[in-house]
């Protein structure tokens, strides 16, 4: 039904990995939620081999794109993924596949295939960006494919600050419910290990009763999830269970509705547990701010105060103090990588990076130091010369009509339009109600019914996908 994993377990597994790697190489791991994936992550980290960390459920064509672009020396994937095209001898490099690389299976280990190729030439001309350790995709709802470059120092600083802010110690039993290839899921792993606790890894996903049976029987202390996951926890009646040892619930990875926060606050009070609301970005190694909402319910719309060791400011603030959120801290990334060459520097170059992160999120900080997010800087439309916040708009319209909606900007000729996507058939009076609240939108808004709002792998609204429906 599941597996309980300690730091000692991980170290023991690392020692059994039967390959020899060295600095100058790099690797790509298709990770599932298992002790083996965590051990492989630790193995490459220990040996100073930068690791591209991707989800094991990623589509074949997406995996091929990453393999083609970054050409890793090592390619590791679960055996049950059945990817023979990457194994030598089974699929030779042909003229029509010359852009892809040939790999030979080095070994199989604990249900994983470890394949390798010869790219030693890279080592002769280039060396890695200073301290580069991990490359992981962003988890945002907009934008294209890119990898975030993180260092060991980034990972260590964030694990320490999260463990401290969430009051974690060696008694922690954290549920691994999110993909470890997702920055939030990986931060749960790293902070728990830093605190000396253990990980509870269910064999099944959250939609199976066995997952929650296992966590309850093994006295889980910490449950985490993005807002969309908590919606499912509620639908699945997860909180009807006892969870006698539970002390902490955490949420991050997007905006949570006020009604869900109020529901979780009630659960936190009933159970006498902490409810931590957090904000972060993959570019900040997952976390920027946090607080216990149950201790400050009057700040229900906030995402908390800055984590230990960090600094928050607002850039280009308007008359209301709202502007772009800027974060400074040791957990800020090196930069983005869109190609293999961006992972290297020559001997003559000195790579300069900053610990300052312009987040792209809009918000303000109140007099008590609490951060409030109002949307994305690029999630605005200009209607009749006035700026309309799409995030605020979709929240308010959703409240009006009792459903989750998504707002995206489009164009009708030269005029900007706002498309409102929802799953319910539009009421005849919906537009009149919207225009009463937002008269500026007259002639510039339309409702589009859709069977289901598309989401990214991490549960966020996929605004890029919605643009395809317009």
Question: Does 63 share its domain with 153?
Answer: no
Question: Does 335 share its domain with 227?
Answer: yes
Question: Does 311 share its domain with 447?
Answer: no
- 94, 125, 156 - which closes a domain: 125
Whether the CB-CB separation of 358 and 376 falls below 8 Å is answered with no
Q: Evaluate whether residue 313 is within a structural domain.
A: yes
Q: Evaluate whether residue 362 is within a structural domain.
A: yes
CA angle 197–160–289, rounded 5-degree value:
115
- 356, 375, 394 - which closes a domain: 375
Whether the CB-CB separation of 363 and 312 falls below 8 Å is answered with no
Distance, in Å, from the CA atom of 183 to the CA atom of 324, rounded to the nearest integer, reads 22
Question: pLDDT value at position 344?
Answer: 78
Max CA separation in the chain (angstroms): 68
DSSP conformational letter for 25: B
Distance, in Å, from the CA atom of 349 to the CA atom of 366, rounded to the nearest integer, reads 42
Question: pLDDT value at position 385?
Answer: 54
Question: Does 309 share its domain with 188?
Answer: yes
Q: By residue range, what is the domain housing residue 436? A: 379-467
Alpha-carbon torsion (17, 20, 23, 25), positive or negative: negative
Q: What 3-state DSSP class applies to 46?
A: helix
Q: Evaluate whether residue 11 is within a structural domain.
A: yes
Question: Does 174 share its domain with 121?
Answer: no
Question: pLDDT value at position 406?
Answer: 86
Question: Does 217 share its domain with 356?
Answer: yes
Q: What 3-state DSSP class applies to 455?
A: strand
- 308, 341, 375 - which closes a domain: 375
Distance, in Å, from the CA atom of 359 to the CA atom of 376, rounded to the nearest integer, reads 9
Question: Does 323 share its domain with 402?
Answer: no
- When divided into structural domains, the chain yields a total of 3
Question: Does 189 share its domain with 68?
Answer: no
Question: Does 383 share its domain with 445?
Answer: yes
Whether the CB-CB separation of 76 and 40 falls below 8 Å is answered with yes
Q: What 3-state DSSP class applies to 156?
A: helix
- CATH number where 275 lies: 3.40.50.12780
Mean confidence (pLDDT) of the chain: 86
Question: pLDDT value at position 120?
Answer: 54
Whether the CB-CB separation of 370 and 363 falls below 8 Å is answered with no
Q: Evaluate whether residue 71 is within a structural domain.
A: yes
Whether the CB-CB separation of 335 and 149 falls below 8 Å is answered with yes
Whether the CB-CB separation of 242 and 216 falls below 8 Å is answered with yes
Question: Does 347 share its domain with 251?
Answer: yes
Q: What is the DSSP string of 234-268?
A: HHTTGGGS--TT--EEEE-SSPPPHHHHHHHHHHH
User: Tokens 């899921």 sit at which residue?
Assistant: 185
Question: pLDDT value at position 96?
Answer: 34
Question: Does 155 share its domain with 118?
Answer: no
- Residue by residue, pLDDT tens for the chain (470 residues) are 899 999 999 999 999 999 999 888 899 999 999 999 999 999 999 999 999 999 998 888 888 888 888 889 999 999 988 775 654 444 444 433 443 457 888 899 999 999 998 765 565 556 777 789 999 987 544 344 689 999 999 999 999 999 999 999 999 999 999 999 999 999 999 999 999 999 999 999 999 999 999 999 999 999 999 888 998 999 999 999 999 999 999 999 888 888 999 999 999 999 999 999 999 999 999 899 999 999 999 999 999 999 998 999 999 888 889 999 999 999 999 888 888 888 877 554 555 555 778 888 889 999 999 999 987 777 777 675 566 778 878 888 888 888 888 888 765 545 567 888 888 887 777 777 888 777 778 778 888 888 888 887 667 788 878 877 76
Q: Evaluate whether residue 143 is within a structural domain.
A: no
Q: Evaluate whether residue 451 is within a structural domain.
A: yes
Q: Evaluate whether residue 141 is within a structural domain.
A: no
- CATH number where 62 lies: 3.40.190
Question: pTM for this structure?
Answer: 0.80
């Amino acid at each position: 039904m599941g597996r309980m994993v300690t730091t000692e377990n991980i170290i023991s597994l690392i020692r059994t990995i039967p390959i020899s790697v060295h600095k100058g190489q790099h690797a790509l791991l298709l990770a599932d939620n298992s002790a083996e994936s965590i051990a492989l992550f630790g193995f490459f980290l220990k040996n100073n081999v930068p690791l591209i960390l991707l989800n094991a459920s990623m589509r074949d064509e997406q995996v091929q794109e990453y393999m083609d672009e970054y050409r890793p020396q090592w390619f590791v994937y679960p055996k049950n993924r059945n990817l023979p095209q990457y194994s030598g001898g089974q699929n030779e490099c042909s003229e029509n596949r010359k852009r892809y690389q040939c790999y030979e299976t080095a070994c199989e280990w604990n249900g994983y295939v470890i394949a390798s190729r010869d790219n030693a030439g890279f080592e002769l001309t280039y060396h890695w960006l200073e301290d580069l350790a991990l490359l992981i995709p962003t988890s945002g709802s907009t934008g294209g494919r890119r990898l975030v470059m993180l260092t060991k120092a980034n990972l260590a600083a964030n694990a320490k600050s999260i463990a401290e802010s969430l009051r974690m110690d060696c008694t922690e039993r954290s549920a691994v419910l999110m993909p470890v290839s997702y920055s939030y899921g990986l931060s749960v792993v790293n902070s728990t290990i830093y605190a000396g606790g253990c990980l509870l890894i269910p064999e099944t996903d959250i939609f199976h009763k066995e997952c929650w049976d296992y966590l309850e029987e093994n006295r889980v202390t910490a449950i985490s999830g993005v807002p969309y996951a908590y919606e499912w926890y509620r639908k699945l009646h997860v909180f009807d269970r006892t969870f006698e040892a539970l002390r902490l619930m955490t949420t991050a990875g997007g905006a949570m509705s006020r009604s869900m926060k109020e529901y979780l606050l009630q659960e936190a009070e009933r159970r006498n547990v902490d409810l931590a609301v957090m904000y972060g970005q993959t570019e900040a190694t997952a976390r920027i701010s946090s607080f216990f909402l149950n201790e400050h319910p009057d700040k229900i719309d906030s995402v908390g105060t800055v984590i230990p060791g960090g600094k928050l400011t607002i850039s280009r603030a308007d008359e209301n103090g709202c502007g772009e959120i800027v974060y400074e801290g040791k957990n800020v990334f090196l930069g983005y990588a869109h190609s293999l060459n961006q992972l290297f520097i020559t001997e003559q170059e000195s790579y300069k990076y900053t610990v300052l992160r312009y987040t792209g999120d809009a918000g303000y900080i109140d007099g008590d130091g609490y951060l409030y997010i109002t949307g994305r800087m690029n999630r605005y439309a200009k209607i009749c010369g006035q700026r309309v916040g799409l995030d605020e708009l979709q929240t308010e319209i959703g409240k009006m009509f009792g459903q989750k909606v998504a707002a995206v900007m489009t164009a009708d000729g030269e005029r900007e339009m706002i498309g409102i996507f929802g799953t319910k058939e539009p009421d005849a009076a919906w537009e009149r109600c919207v225009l009463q609240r937002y008269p500026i939108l007259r002639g510039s808004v339309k409702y589009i019914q859709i069977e289901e709002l598309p989401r990214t792998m991490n549960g966020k609204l996929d605004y890029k996908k919605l643009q395809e429906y317009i």
